[in-house]
């Protein structure tokens, strides 16, 4: 394997930072992973994972075992700095750049001329320029323009585009966009990504790269909203939405996505708001799509309440709590939110089922009418079966296990 003599400091050891750090370490780079959470640092130092992602445990163990990946809660001098910290939104859907700012200010004292700084976190347009400003504040010795002179540094935004559940494959094979704060930065950044990706690496301006990532996720959100809206229309008109979509998709230029209980995760339900925030007048469709998708859980809750009214002491099995199939990620999960709302808003017994999680999630723990049980027990006891996540495990459910039960199938698994 090629050995690279460069050192890399990855700030943020989460869903993107840790796979990236481990991959780079196994590709021959010397990598320091940095996180502000001591538990995360401790887990990585021990070669362990603090979340589930297929095959990542092997990669982390091998990267740490070989000594190429170490972890700390403080950055150190390196040739390349990669910022992979969360960019949530604050009250009123305003992008919260505080983690990016903190990471930038933490790495700034260690910068040396010629260093490459990469922002991978999904960010609002203008974020890379703000990073340049924060570095200039922290390091006046680099001059007012950090991209000028012999002591210049290189700064790019290269948005991560990997799909949870397929992170390790997509980190390598996906095409990559590298947006530079200037042309030289884009070229230096692209040369770095070409050392470990097999996809095509495209260079552009930082602002274009920022908006491109947001546009990709908003595109998916808008398309899912279309499917979710169709599901409401079909319900109103007595049409099976799954059959409808299957048939409509036989058209050579139609590809309707799948309805569900709402859109979850930390990306698609968040990133479109960054566009809305920066251009509210122009992004009416994007905003409406967000509202349609955010409204879907309420509709599902109403369906369950309506069905529950038919029973004296209803027992509802909520199948799946993760935000999508075959992962353990509960962040922004509509399934979890629906389960919690049913537990709090009805007198029904709620049987929460999530095969990818060992323990009852904290938001459900302590609710008197919630039991965290296995799928077979839930199916045995339930009057109403609410299918919330299309995990492969649920595909094994036999039809007869659903006999004489009310089925509310938000994913079309039993279409
Ligand atoms: N969903 C539906 N119907 C569909 C597809 C998805 O309801 O037909 C729901 C899922 O159940 C889930 C949500 O949408 O709740 C999002 O899931 P997803 O698989 O569409 O996307 P994520 O959030 O796992 O990953 C996305 C990806 N972006 C795009 O596909 C454009 C990924 O490539 C990005 O890297 C990731 O966001 C990110 O980090 O931004």
Residue whose entry in the numeric block shows the structure tokens 């302590």 = 366
Given a cut of 70, whether residue 8 has pLDDT beyond it is yes
Nearest CA to ligand 1 atom 34: 161
Given a cut of 60, whether residue 319 has pLDDT beyond it is yes
d(CA 413, CA 201): 38
What percentage of the chain reaches a pLDDT higher than 90?
94
Quick: pLDDT tens for 38-83. 999 999 999 998 888 899 999 999 999 999 999 999 999 999 999 9
What would the two tokens of residue 304 be?
A: 């369950």
Give the pLDDT confidence score for residue 81 in this predicted structure. Answer: 98
Residues 130-148 have a mean pLDDT of: 93
Q: Cα of 49 to ligand 1 centre, how many Å?
A: 23
Q: Cα of 268 to ligand 1 centre, how many Å?
A: 6
- Given the residues 30, 205, 267, 296, select the one marked as catalytic: 267
CA dihedral 57, 60, 63, 69 (to 10 degrees): -170
Q: Cα of 154 to ligand 1 centre, how many Å?
A: 31
Q: Is the Cβ atom of 152 under 6 angstroms away from ligand 1?
A: no
Please identify, by atom number, the ligand 1 atom nearest to the C-alpha of residue 266: 23
Q: Is the Cβ atom of 264 under 6 angstroms away from ligand 1?
A: yes
Residue whose entry in the numeric block shows the structure tokens 């400091």 = 9
Distance of CA 277 to CAs 126, 249, 274, Å? Answer: 12, 33, 5
Quick: pLDDT tens for 202-229. 999 999 999 999 999 999 999 999 999 9
In sequence order, the 6+-apart residues with CB closer than 8 A to the CB of 290 are 221, 225, 269, 272, 273, 276
Mean predicted lDDT score pLDDT of the chain = 96
Please identify, by atom number, the ligand 1 atom nearest to the C-alpha of residue 213: 40
Please identify, by atom number, the ligand 1 atom nearest to the C-alpha of residue 161: 35
d(CA 162, CA 368): 39
Q: Which domains does the chain have, with CATH numbers?
A: 7-199 (3.40.50.720), 241-409 (3.40.50.720)
Cβ–Cβ under 8 Å, residues 155 and 147: yes
Q: Cα of 408 to ligand 1 centre, how many Å?
A: 22
Given a cut of 60, whether residue 361 has pLDDT beyond it is yes
């Amino acid at each position: 394997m090629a050995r690279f003599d460069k050192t890399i400091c990855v700030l943020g050891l989460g869903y993107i930072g840790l796979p990236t750090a481990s991959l780079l370490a196994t590709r021959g780079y010397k990598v320091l992973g940095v996180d502000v959470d001591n538990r995360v640092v401790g887990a990585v130092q021990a070669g362990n994972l603090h979340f589930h992602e297929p095959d990542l445990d092997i990669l982390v163990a091998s990267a740490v075992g070989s000594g190429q990946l170490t972890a700390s809660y403080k950055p150190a001098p390196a040739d390349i700095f990669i910022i992979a910290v969360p960019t949530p939104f604050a009250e009123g859907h305003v992008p919260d750049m505080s983690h990016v700012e903190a990471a930038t200010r933490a790495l700034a004292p260690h910068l040396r001329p010629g260093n490459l700084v990469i922002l991978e976190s999904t960010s609002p347009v203008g974020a890379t320029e703000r990073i340049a400003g924060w570095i200039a504040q922290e390091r006046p010795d680099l001059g007012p323009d950090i991209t000028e002179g012999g002591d210049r540094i290189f700064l790019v935004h290269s948005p991560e585009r990997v799909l949870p559940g397929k992170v390790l494959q997509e980190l390598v094979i996906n095409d990559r966009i590298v947006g530079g704060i200037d042309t030289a930065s884009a070229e230096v950044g692209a040369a770095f990504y070409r050392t470990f990706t097999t996809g095509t690496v495209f260079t552009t301006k930082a602002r274009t790269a920022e908006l491109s990532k947001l546009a990709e996720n908003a595109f998916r959100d808008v398309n899912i909203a279309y499917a979710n809206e169709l599901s409401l229309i079909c319900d109103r008109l007595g049409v099976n939405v799954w059959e409808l979509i299957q048939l409509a998709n036989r058209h050579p230029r139609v590809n309707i996505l799948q309805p569900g209980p709402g859109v979850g995760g930390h990306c698609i339900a968040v990133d479109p708001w960054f566009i809305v925030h920066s251009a509210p007048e122009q992004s009416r469709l994007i905003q409406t799509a967000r509202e349609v998708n955010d409204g879907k859980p309420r509709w599902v809750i109403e369906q369950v309440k309506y069905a529950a009214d038919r029973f004296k002491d209803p027992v509802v099995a909520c199948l799946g709590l993760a935000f999508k199939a075959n992962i353990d990620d509960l962040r922004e999960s509509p399934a979890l939110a629906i389960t919690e709302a049913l537990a709090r808003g009805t007198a029904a017994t709620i049987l929460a089922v999530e095969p990818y999680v060992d323990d009852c999630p904290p938001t459900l723990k302590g609710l008197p009418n919630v039991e965290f049980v296995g799928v077979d027990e839930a199916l045995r006891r339930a009057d109403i079966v609410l299918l919330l996540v299309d995990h492969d495990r649920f595909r094994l459910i036999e039809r007869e296990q659903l006999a004489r039960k009310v089925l509310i199938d938000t994913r079309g698994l039993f279409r």
